[in-house]
Amino acid sequence: MDALPPKRVGRMNGSSLMSAIHWPDGSAKNLILIHRTKRAAGFGAFANPLRETMAATLEGKRLRLRQASADDVDARFSLGNHAEIVEMFGVSRSVVRPLTRDGAARWVQRLIDHSHAWVIEVHGRLIGEIRLDNVDLHDRRASMAIGIFDPALLGKGLGSEAILLLLRHAFVDLQLHRIGIRVLAYNQRAIRAYEKCGFVVEGREREAAFVNDAWHDDVMMGLLEHEFLSQNS
């Protein structure tokens, strides 16, 4: 396996233990876990009334969110793995490895197989991904995950724009009530971006992640439907 060790994307995923352990290069183990999570959330167990609204293309001012396709492998491969980015997902710098073409293909397939995942595209160029994970149609909640993979494009407002596009889709089209995020406390850029989009800090899990030979806290953030709609009407 060309692999990085298992990482905890749970900080992006919220409540599911299944999705909280997966491989950053998009390995098969990751696919299995994601599929289990979908079943646990009710996908496939009963007809989903929102199915037709899933993964619609979402157009913003500077970017668009669209479904992944097999043609995206080269673009993802060329973005590579950057330590300063993957450590924001809880991967220690010492274990970061270059992204392989197979890893890029697995990443693309994972998005294709996911019911609520989009690639982030700027001027026709793939720069990252954004997802709603653990969609729970009974409690009308989900968790959100986002990653821009080009270090040169961080801090330019693109992440906030992508998040706001996704939130409008989540609260208006899918009529969800709550979106949650788990983020490493040292990821101050992400926390600031989430706050700009309306998320508030709801709690803190102390020493929840061991990264770069040290314990780090996770920050729990959330945004409710009425809060988003009152701020963005």
In the complex, the smallest distance separating the C-beta of residue 69 from ligand COA, rounded to whole angstroms, is: 21
Q: Whose CA is closest to 53, among 110, 118, 143?
A: 118
Cβ distance to ligand COA smaller for residue 55 or 148 = 148
Return the residue nearest ligand COA (CB atom).
159
In whole angstroms, what is the distance from residue 66 CA to residue 90 CA? 26
Shortest Å, Cβ 160 to ligand COA: 3
Q: Which is nearer to ligand COA, 157 or 203 (CB)?
A: 157
Contacts for 87 with CB less than 8 Å, ≥ 6 apart: 93, 96, 211, 212
Tell me which amino acid residue 207 is. Answer: E
C-alpha span between 5 and 22 (Å, rounded): 9
**Residue closer to ligand COA, measured from CB, 101 or 189:** 189
Cα atoms in the Cβ-side hemisphere of radius 13 Å centred on 79: 27
Cβ 154 to ligand COA shortest distance, Å: 4
- Alpha-carbon distance of 16 to 97, in angstroms, equals 26
Shortest Å distance, C-beta 162 to ligand COA: 7
As measured in angstroms, the least distance from the Cβ of 82 to ligand COA is 9
C-beta closer to ligand COA: residue 51 or 62:
62
* Chain residues that interact with ligand COA, rule: CB under 6 A: 11-12, 85, 88-89, 128, 146-148, 154-160, 183, 187-190, 192-193, 196
Residue 135 vs 163, nearer CB to ligand COA: 163
Give residue for tokens 């352990």: 21
